[in-house]
Amino acid sequence: MAIIKPFRGLRPPKELAEKVAALPYDVMDIAEARAMAAGNPDSFLHVSRPEIDLPDTVDCHDEPVYVQGKQNLDEFIRRGVLVQEESDSFYVYRQRMGAITQTGLVVCASVDEYQSGVIKKHEHTRADKEEDRVRHIDYLDANDEPVFYLSRSCSEVEGIIEGVTNGPPEYDFVSSDGVSHTLWIITDQGLIERLIVLFEAIPRLYVADGHHRSAAAGRVRELRRAGNPHHTGQEEYNFFLTVIFPENQLHIMPYNRAVKDLNGLGMAEFIDRIESSFAIVPTQEGMLPQGRHHFGMYLDGQWYHLHARDNIINEADTVDRLDVSILQNNLLDPLLGIHNPRTDKRIHFVGGIRGNEELVKLVDSGEYTVAFSLHPTSISELIELADQDQIMPPKSTWFEPKLRSGLVVHLLR
């Protein structure tokens, strides 16, 4: 069963929603965050990326950063930039990006279900990033950014959500990147109870984006439970902020790679060694890979098309047959020496939303020597792998559009 819980969301008044809404904390560097928040004291980046309000000399993982985040959240509440809902609610959040429309249900998910495996994950977390999120959430006393989950489609759930979206929204705006954001509030107790029952019949949920936030919610719960002699399991810290989308609405983009050097190989030798595992053909332009097991490579001002040879593809193995695994196991590791992509500083991961233009820019700048574009992992591959409790290689999926932070916050108290 999938447990979902309504909550009293902390959110901006209607007239401030567009100013408050911000991209997730982890899709930008600090310089980009400062630029995005410049001149906007109501930007949620002051809460999710509080280091933008501190000198450059302060490390982003130092305690003053977490203290600043809490101070900024309290100030938002004091100024009325964020106001708490009067009653427990669910929320419906719709995003449109070009031809893509996704409509999800904003709820609190159960820490118990994440820890027991009812909520399925497909990536390992990094200890340093997880620790950062634990401290951030603990200092804020809030889940400030939602986790992005998917579920199997349920026609009755989707019917209820469609009925809600036929009514007037609370928020409706278009962000600077052209993505539209619309939010409705569900306060009707009958609808809330029906949605809870319907989700109880859904056997599992899947983490699409937000593995570190999910793991951190579990660790924060353990901290709170240890400090509460009257713990019941129903306190707000036993639940965390999520948006759940049906599988049939989600869109995965590729997660591309750039590498700083050729691991001591000359260009001719590198290309020659690639050919044992991939058919390689120069192309005139950087076309996106047209299907599974096809890759683009940009090297020395030239695009190449790579097609994995049959002898390196193991379709019987759920993980090995992923394109990210094929590239890692047959090129990045043996030829370029990227043995652990989670920790190697020579590899850079580029979200597909930035396009092949970003790969060209990185290589032409001289900072990187070679870049690879991939065909995106599919939703069905993600679900099949997660159901088998398998783990994907790092940076296998890039979901778009990204959820905006600051539209609904979940307080742990």
Prediction pTM value:
0.91
Task: Give the DSSP letter of residue 403.
Answer: P
Long-range contacts of 288-293 (CB under 8 A, 24+ apart): 288/254, 288/356, 288/373, 288/375, 289/254, 289/323, 289/373, 289/374, 289/375, 290/375, 291/375, 292/323, 292/375, 293/323, 293/326, 293/375
Claim to verify: residue 110 and residue 209 sit in the same structural domain: yes
- Mean pLDDT, range 291-297, rounded to an integer: 94
Structure confidence by residue, pLDDT tens digits, 241-273:
999 999 999 989 999 999 999 999 999 999 999
pLDDT at 4: 98
Q: Give the distance between the most distant pair of CA atoms in the chain.
A: 68
Domain for residue 385, yes or no?
Answer: no
Please say whether the beta carbons of 31 and 38 come within 8 A.
no
Per the structure, the complete domain to which residue 31 belongs is given by 4-250+401-411
Query: Residues 334-360: pLDDT tens digits?
Result: 999 999 998 899 999 999 888 899 999
Predicted confidence (pLDDT) per residue in 225-234, tens digit: 999 999 999 9
Claim to verify: residue 117 and residue 199 sit in the same structural domain: yes
- 276 by DSSP, 3-state: which? coil
Domain shared by 289 and 223, yes or no? no
pLDDT at residue 34 is higher than 80: yes
State whether 54 and 174 are in the same domain: yes
pLDDT at residue 46 in the model: 98
Angle at 117 (CA atoms; ends 23, 249), nearest 5 degrees: 45
Average pLDDT, the chain: 95
Same domain, 129 and 273: no
SS3 323: helix
Alpha carbon dihedral 23, 221, 208, 46, in 10-degree steps, equals 0
**Mean pLDDT confidence for 272-281:** 96
Reply yes or no on whether the pLDDT at 286 is more than 70. no
222 and 265 housed in the same domain: no
What confidence score (pLDDT) does residue 287 get? 66
Tokens read off for 144: 């400030």
Nearest alpha carbon to residue 18 among 42, 45, 48:
42
Average the pLDDT over 298-323 and give the result: 95
Predicted pLDDT of residue 124: 86
pLDDT, mean of residues 204-211 = 94
Number of separate domains in the chain: 2
